[in-house]
Homo-oligomer: A and B are copies of this chain.
């Protein structure tokens, strides 16, 4: 995580190291506020604004990916190569992990055809979970 900051040309501060550490520990995308709360719970002293600023610059530099298709919040995850995708119930919000990412090949092709340097992607499936289907909250 030291190296991530270096490769992003960012100064190596306590807050940033902590944010990166927390991002490494988590296995699903987290919101800025969740990161802030966890950092606080560990006794760290930092402000929510800084968490946002840190996530923002890391996203710009490609070290972090963001997603916000669920509720109103934005969720962040490290842009490593073990990233995961999710299937979200649009009724109750339950989340299931998807263990496949068929996109790496497509990314290469895209890079060739568009000239973009592709830094990541965001993929999320929407649906209705079995329980919500039973409870008939959805309109098929």
Contact = CB atoms under 8 A, between A and B. Distances in A.
Interface of A: 8-9, 59-62, 65-69, 74, 87, 89-91, 96, 98, 100, 102-103, 106-107, 110-111, 114-130, 133, 138-140
A117 B127 contact: yes
Main SS at interface, chain A: mixed
B91 A117 contact: no
Contact of A139 (B9, B67, B89): B9
Nearest to A98: B110
A69 to B, nearest CB: 5
Contact of A67 (B59, B60, B69, B138): B69
A64 to B, nearest CB: 10
A133 B115 CA distance: 9
Given A69-B69, A119-B126, A123-B124, 10 more contacts: A8-B139, A66-B69, A68-B74, A102-B102, A103-B123, A110-B125, A115-B133, A116-B130, A117-B133, A122-B123
A96 to B, nearest CB: 5
Contact of A60 (B90, B103, B130): B90
A115 B100 contact: no
Given A118-B126, A123-B121, A87 B110 contact: yes
